[in-house]
Chains A and B, each alone.
Chain A
Amino acid sequence: MNGTLSVAVWRGGADGGYRTYSVPRRESQTVLDVVTYIQRRLDPTLAYRFACRVGMCGSCAMTVNGLPRWTCRTHVADAAPDDRLEVGPLAHLPIVRDLVTDMRSFFDKWARARGAFKGTATRRDDFARVEPGSPARRAVDAAIECIGCGVCYAACDVVAWNPGYLGPAALNRAWTLVNDSRDGARAQRLAAVAGDAGCHACHTLASCTERCPKHLSPTAAIAGLKRATAVGLLRGEW
């Protein structure tokens, strides 16, 4: 395959800027291939993250031509039909350097949304029985595959407009636990996900659902949390 790509890559911190590189086009090239080429052949000072490079870990998430996506699963042919690429760090997170963001706030919010399972059984108890076809379990199954890549968080405008907003990923995980019959922290979790920092800040923009590489729907999960917190409040559950 012939031709050259013109690739603008974000360099530096928040006060940095785009620097342009020329990268040869290749067959079935992904944006991660392009970034790797730049770092290995053109500029070894470029900082970026990746791990599995086969669409399983979510580490390579970046902003490509304005959209947050996994660079290992973004074909140049789809993302840059006119041979121009713009690659930047994931939005709404502090920039460490170049294409690397500080994801601490993303995971802190996960913890603040009580996105961790709280067990109630002991080794002496029998196994919990969870009916796989039950509405609650199906709701969990639809949302459980999240790998915490941050694409939804970067896509959501409310995250930008509301600094305290826990975000789609954290709330989506909380939803899976709200529907988990084995979990023992329901009251605390409903209290954690309600309010202006929680599910009630969601305006159903659905950019999260639009961009999620695993085709999850945080929009549906957050709507569920709105119902759960409202009903819970009326019933005095939290």
Chain B
Amino acid sequence: MSASRWRNRGHPAYWAFLVHRLSGLALALFLPLHFVALARALRGAAALDAFLAWTRSPWVVASEIALVFALAAHLTGGLRLLLVEFVGWKSEGQKALLAVAGGVAAFCAIAFALNVV
């Protein structure tokens, strides 16, 4: 794909789509791991604690922050889509809507990061 083709994609709604799709993909891939990790609790609290100790390693923490952002971004982006599809698209409000969505998602990620780092 030539560089000039990307110029057609350099607008906010396109980035919103990309974030929404990629965050959804990441969450879908993460989910089975999440369920399996929680199922460890079946072997007792100690088994879960052992797993949680592993999650303190730096790259896991970084991934978790990214996942929290992905979850929040997918939520806020999804709410925007529900608005567009059920209430309607009005060109004037779109950029503001995206700014709010991005802001809330970033807030969640930061709130999480501050408490886990």
Chain A residues at the B interface, C-beta cutoff of 8 Å: 65-68, 86, 155, 157, 203-207, 209-211, 217, 219-220, 223-224, 226-227
Question: Roughly how many angstroms separate A205 CA and B91 CA in the complex, as a whole number?
Answer: 13
Distance from B67 Cβ to chain A, minimum over Cβ atoms (Å): 22
B9 touches A157 (CB 8 A): yes
8 residue pairs, one from A and one from B, having the closest CB atoms: A66-B4, A206-B13, A66-B7, A220-B89, A210-B11, A223-B85, A205-B17, A219-B89
Q: List, in ascending order, chain B residues with CB within 8 A of A226's CB.
A: 85
A68 touches B8 (CB 8 A): yes
B89 touches A207 (CB 8 A): no
The majority secondary structure among interface residues of chain A is: helix
B30 within 8 Å of A by Cβ?
no
B86 within 8 Å of A by Cβ?
yes
Question: Roughly how many angstroms separate A86 CA and B14 CA in the complex, as a whole number?
Answer: 23
Q: List, in ascending order, chain A residues with CB within 8 A of B5's CB.
A: 66
Task: Tally chain B residues at the interface, Cβ within 8 Å.
Answer: 23
B8 touches A205 (CB 8 A): no
B17 touches A203 (CB 8 A): yes
B35 within 8 Å of A by Cβ?
no
B27 within 8 Å of A by Cβ?
no
Distance from B5 Cβ to chain A, minimum over Cβ atoms (Å): 5
Q: List, in ascending order, chain A residues with CB within 8 A of B8's CB.
A: 66-68, 155, 207, 211
18 CB < 8 A contacts A-B: A66-B3, A67-B8, A86-B4, A157-B9, A203-B21, A204-B13, A204-B17, A205-B14, A207-B13, A209-B13, A209-B89, A210-B11, A210-B13, A219-B13, A219-B84, A220-B89, A223-B85, A227-B86
B6 within 8 Å of A by Cβ?
yes
B13 touches A205 (CB 8 A): yes
B81 within 8 Å of A by Cβ?
yes
With a 10 A CB-CB cut-off, give which of A67, A155, A206 has the most chain B CB atoms: A206
Question: Roughly how many angstroms separate A39 CA and B11 CA in the complex, as a whole number?
Answer: 34
